[in-house]
Amino acid sequence: MAAPMLELKGVRTAYGNIEALKGVDLDIREGEIIALLGANGAGKTTTLCSITGLVPPKSGSIVFDGQDIRGARTESLVRKGLIMVPEGRRIFPGLTVLENLKMGAYLISDKRAISQDLEYIFNLFPILATRSRQSGGTLSGGEQQMLAISRSLMGHPRMLLLDEPSLGLAPIVIRNIFDIIRKINRENGTTILLVEQNANLALMLAHRAYIMTTGLITLSGTASEFLNDESVRKAYLGG
Interatomic CA distance for residues 196 and 190, integer angstroms: 18
Per-residue pLDDT, 99 = 93
What pTM did the predictor assign? 0.92
Give 224 or 109, the one with higher predicted confidence.
Answer: 224
Residue 203: what are its φ and ψ, rounded to 5°? -70, -30
Residue 80: what are its φ and ψ, rounded to 5°? -80, -5
| Cα 31-190-135 angle, rounded to 5 deg | 155
| Contact between residue 166 and residue 87 where contact means Cβ atoms under 8 Å apart | no
Domain ranges of the chain: 6-88+156-236
CATH topology of domain 6-88+156-236: Rossmann fold (3.40.50)
Per-residue pLDDT, 236 = 66
Per-residue pLDDT, 156 = 92
Asked if pLDDT for residue 215 goes beyond 90, the answer is yes
- The DSSP line for 42-110 is SSHHHHHHHHTTSS--SEEEEEETTEE-TT--HHHHHHTTEEEE-TT----TTSBHHHHHHHHTTT---
Interatomic CA distance for residues 64 and 159, integer angstroms: 10
Per-residue pLDDT, 218 = 94
Asked if pLDDT for residue 239 goes beyond 60, the answer is no
Please compute the mean of the pLDDT values over residues 196-218 and round it to a whole number: 93
Confidence band, pLDDT 50/70/90 cuts, at residue 210: very high
Three-class SS state of 55: coil
Q: What percent of the chain has pLDDT over 70?
A: 97
Interatomic CA distance for residues 216 and 238, integer angstroms: 20
Q: Tell me which DSSP letter residue 2 carries.
A: P
Q: pLDDT tens, 61-110?
A: 999 999 999 989 988 999 999 999 988 778 889 999 999 999 988 877 78
Give 37 or 169, the one with higher predicted confidence.
Answer: 37
- The number of CA neighbours under 13 Å toward the Cβ of 199 is 22
Per-residue pLDDT, 27 = 97
Q: Per mean pLDDT, which range of 22-26, 34-38, 86-90 is the poorest?
A: 86-90
Q: What is the mean pLDDT of the chain?
A: 91
Please compute the mean of the pLDDT values over residues 111-139 and round it to a whole number: 92
Q: pLDDT tens, 159-204?
A: 999 999 988 888 888 998 999 999 999 999 999 999 998 888 999 9
Interatomic CA distance for residues 42 and 92, integer angstroms: 29
